[in-house]
Chains A and B, each alone.
Chain A
Amino acid sequence: MRVALFVTCLADLMRPGVAFAAIRLLEHGGCTVEVPQTQTCCGQPAYNSGDRATAIALARKALDEFEGFDYVVAPSGSCGGMIRAHYPELFRDDPATLKRIEALAARTWELTDFLVTVLKLDSVPGDFTGSVTYHDSCSGLRELGVKAQPRTLLARLPGVRLTEMNEAETCCGFGGTFSLKFGEVSTQLADNKCGHACATGADAIVGGDLGCLLNIEGRLRRRGDLKTRVLHIAEVLAGSMD
């Protein structure tokens, strides 16, 4: 099956290893992975800032780039949720495009959901050893129902010990541009998250969305914790990429 990787802006810029890990996992599951080279952003920052026109323009662009594939997979519940849960609303007054958008939305998956639900992966290539705690990102959890999937996959790694943190489902305070506009509040929420995560004593905080992870890591380092690792689930599952 031909799978297009929706790289996501944050993986493209901040952590290319996450996108390479996603490719390795998809290929491990037997997919032919392609990376449309003109892709940029799903448009969510514009959408959530009230700039509907830009959101529509970027959604049209993504539609043209991604509609020819069997599946579209993103290593992010946030971008995946944007395409799956919100793109159709953008085209409610444009029936012709809406039909195409709905077809795209139905074929778009968050990475761990795709690996478990579609590929039914029973092994992963990673070799991570240590204790981890998992942060449930809001969009993945509440828009796409991603909760058990990453945990199912972590359980495939014999060296991984998962310890759940308190309030794992509570927002880390990132919220896209919210983290800039309301820095103090955002920092407080990130601090709460760091407290709960560190209380588990885990070696690594793992999650499925880079926005949350950069926010959590940023606060963790400012708190003086240089030791606890903050990893994307794809990095843990795929193993070392170098």
Chain B
Amino acid sequence: MDVRSNEFKARAAANLDDEKLQKGLGLIKVKAVVNRAGAVAEFGDFESLREAGKQIRDRALADLDLYLERFEREATARGAVVHWAENASEACRIVVDIAKQSGVRTVAKSKSMVSEEVGLNDALIAAGIEPIETDLGEYILQINDAEPPSHIVMPVIHKTAEDVADLFHAKHGTPRKTDPAALTREAREILRPKFLSADMGVSGANFLIAETGSTLIVTNEGNGRLCTTLPRLHVALTGIEKVVPTLEDASTLLRLLPRSATGQAITNYVSLHTGPKRLEESDGPQQFHIVLVDNGRSKLLAGEMREMLRCIRCGACMNHCPVYQAVGGHAYGWVYPGPMGNILTPSYVGLENAIALPNAATMCNQCGVVCPVKIPLPDLMRKLREEQMERGLKPWPERVGLALWGWAAQQPALYSFGTRLAVRVMKWLGGNDKLIHRLPLAAGWTDGRDFPAPAGKTFRELYKERRK
């Protein structure tokens, strides 16, 4: 996927004026925020559960190599084939090779953000293999000229039912309908034969369970089950950080994930895949391949962003982020939007290619308090800002402004003189209505807001006068 994260500011501003998009985004508060709050309240001691989730993820990351080796051993013993991909192109090559070796022509895909991250669909198409997205949201995006998802759990949250009605009418050539149930039925009728004819299914994995060598996915639509059981090959593609030690650990995380994501106590389907079809079994794939992708993750493990690897991809951080709620996922310009993306995008594609993202947050910490595995997202963004400062990646006006202000704030006499002057100028600028309508060097503020003018003397000045 192309990285367009340096266009954040312009795309965010454009999205604010997109009425249709704003209508779609409005649903996040209704669907995700309210539902999560209800699920958390109903659960009771969610804080202890968050702490348990954090500890499980930290334990897994502390001995990631050992758990991955254990996972490989157990999965292999049960007949799966484990592949290791160092980067995106290697991941694509591995999947394409698997497909080619078995003469695969069509691939049924269940939703996977790692497949977006590595650009799997493009690689399959380039190799003459047809990928078919079977998650309803991903299907809608695929037939809309492979539009990227704008959310990791609800990929088409930026679209309204009206948008989908127009799209289906245009692409399917069927009479236009707006009833969501009817639209879903139409997609299902088109997708069903594709499931049956697909040679290979590709899924992601929410968790890898080291003690059994199983992959686990949570879905609501049932397409994940079809993708992973009907075709003769199943390829599970996921990041190396997804491993957890035991089934017990996975079940603890399963209590956190759907509640945090959609406010569900549990998803409609929780599927565990342990090896391919066995001799005595009648269903299941003949081959089960698991592709474990690094693509920058091991570098995070050794650095200051390590805590980000705890992430279980629930999307709560973006659902609760006022900036994401206002601008939508596409503004972030890569696979992972919202607060998680503010950290993952610069970490995976290079800080210089995502300069705005670590700064595109008010540091309100709403993300931090809802994160099911307690990732201190604002602290990590701040560390990236520090790295930007060290590497000279900040725009020069900001650097000069900060340096001047920082120096002055350490010289009390000078600071006192400067502030006395500043409040007098601001008072004068405020005029009769005591509002500054336009401030040089602060257009970002005054384009949409007035600036309430001060009274003309600083507190410390007045305090001295009154003490006399």
Contact = CB atoms under 8 A, between A and B. Distances in A.
Contacts of A47: 382
Contact of B365 (A16, A52, A142, A214): A142
A198 interface: no
Interface string B407-423: 00110100100010011
Interface of B: 9, 12-13, 16, 322-323, 326-327, 359-366, 368-369, 382, 384-390, 394, 398, 402-403, 405-406, 409-410, 412, 415, 419, 422-423, 435, 442-445, 447-452, 454-455, 457-460, 462-464
Given A37-B460, A58-B410, 4 more contacts: A35-B463, A51-B402, A51-B403, A57-B406
Contacts of B448: 183-184, 186-188, 190-191, 219, 222
A49 interface: yes
Contact of A49 (B385, B449, B460): B385
Interface of A: 7, 11-17, 19-20, 35, 37-41, 43, 45-52, 54, 57-58, 61, 138-139, 142-143, 169-171, 173-192, 214-215, 217-219, 221-222, 230
B454 A61 contact: no
B321 to A, nearest CB: 9
B366 A38 contact: no
6 contacts: A16-B459, A16-B463, A50-B384, A50-B390, A54-B406, A192-B326
A189 B459 contact: no
A50 B412 CA distance: 23
Listed from nearest, the 4 A-B pairs whose CB atoms lie closest are: A175-B362, A183-B444, A187-B448, A50-B385
Most chain B CB within 10 A, of A7, A17, A138, is at A138
A138 B406 contact: no
Contacts of B9: 181-182
Contacts of B403: 51, 54
Contacts of B409: 40-41, 43, 54, 58
A61 B408 CA distance: 13
Contacts of B384: 50
B387 A50 contact: yes
A13 B419 contact: yes
Given A52-B386, A58-B406, A180 B445 contact: yes
A186 B386 contact: no
A37 to B, nearest CB: 7
B442 A180 contact: yes
Contacts of A192: 322, 326
